[in-house]
Amino acid sequence: MADKGSTQNTQTKEGLTRQETKEVKERRRLRAAVVYEIIRLEGEAELARTFNALWWSALAAGLSIGFSVLSQALLEAQLQRFPSAAIIADFGYCVGFLIVILARQQLFTENTLTAVLPVMVRKDWSAVWDVLRLWGIVLGGNLVGCFLFAAFLAYSGAFSDATQNAITEIGRHLMANSPAEMFMKGIVSGWLIAALVWMLPSSEGTEIFIITLITYIIALGDFTHIIAGSVEAIYMFLIGEIGFGQAVGGFFIPTLLGNVAGGTVLFAMISYAQVRQELEG
């Protein structure tokens, strides 16, 4: 009888040992259809969650994403006398996203992809209603969390003048965009977040690197994100730098539409198109 070692060393018709063949299968990248199915099943689970579960998770995400603004401002306040300080400070933007994604909290822009994939399979109006319900709950919870964090930034007195000024400058930089710029930059941001969601199932222990890379690009390119940006816009409203109409019409609506267009209309549909034949075959 062959022992265990000789069994593992038996060559297959490809010229590899059985152990080597096993390692190839384990290390092979996931097919696009497999990634699609993983995300679709996650989406089905999210659509089935109760109001309370979605709401509190979304509220937590709105609070957590505020640390993107705060961390960026803290770095800018400390590095302002150094050349290229903003490029380094942009890494602070990644912090809130790391907390939200690794803690499995509900972020609206993730759901522009995750929750939409089941609809493309089910293809009925009840599925559309389920997505709209999920979006409404998550977006509402996110915004309440953003408001609470922005109010803390504006009124707590917990930060130095340098940090407070840095937060204000970040908000001014955002609100300098026209509504058209908010929309176009929002498309890129929505695409990148959807791409991030698509990449995570294949990340194999490199989640922190991937999340940091993608969200750093968003910060570096000044692309607009409806939730992180809402902390900035609400803060600017609370300190009296902008009016309610400017916050809603100048930032919120065009950025929301841009994120949905990038994450759902473009990325989700193209992702479905590339695996459609495999799923239906």
* 119-153 pLDDT per residue, tens: 777 767 777 888 899 999 999 999 999 999 999 99
Look at residue 44 in the predicted model and tell me its pLDDT. Answer: 85
17 backbone dihedrals φ, ψ, rounded to 5°: -75, 165
Count the Cβ atoms, other than its own, within 10 Å of residue 78. Answer: 16
- Residue 275 half-sphere exposure toward CB, CA atoms < 13 A: 21
* Cα torsion angle, 58, 62, 68, 74, sign: negative
Distance of alpha carbon 98 from alpha carbon 141, whole angstroms: 18
Distance of alpha carbon 219 from alpha carbon 213, whole angstroms: 10
Low-confidence ranges of the chain (pLDDT < 70): 1-16, 18-30, 123, 272, 275-281
Look at residue 19 in the predicted model and tell me its pLDDT. Answer: 62
Under 8 Å CB-to-CB from 262, ≥6 apart: which residues? 112, 186, 187, 188, 189, 190, 191, 192, 193, 194
Look at residue 279 in the predicted model and tell me its pLDDT. Answer: 59
Distance of alpha carbon 64 from alpha carbon 37, whole angstroms: 28
Look at residue 40 in the predicted model and tell me its pLDDT. Answer: 81
Query: Whole-model pTM?
Result: 0.85
Whether residue 191 contacts residue 31, with contact meaning beta carbons closer than 8 Å, is answered with no
Count the Cβ atoms, other than its own, within 10 Å of residue 165. Answer: 15
Under 8 Å CB-to-CB from 121, ≥6 apart: which residues? 40, 279
Residues of the chain with CATH 1.20.1080.10: 31-280
Region of 123 on the Ramachandran plot (φ > 0 left; ψ -120 to 50 alpha; else beta)? left
- Nearest CA to 248 out of 233, 260, 266 is that of 233
Q: Encoding tokens for residue 67?
A: 């640390």
Distance of alpha carbon 280 from alpha carbon 266, whole angstroms: 21
CA distances to 46, 90, 116 from 104, rounded to whole Å, are 11, 23, 18
- Nearest CA to 234 out of 219, 220, 251 is that of 251
Q: Tell me which fold the domain 31-280 belongs to.
A: Glycerol uptake facilitator protein (1.20.1080)
Distance of alpha carbon 86 from alpha carbon 67, whole angstroms: 17
Look at residue 164 in the predicted model and tell me its pLDDT. Answer: 96
Could you give the angle at the alpha carbon of 31 between the alpha carbons of 26 and 35, nearest 5°?
A: 100
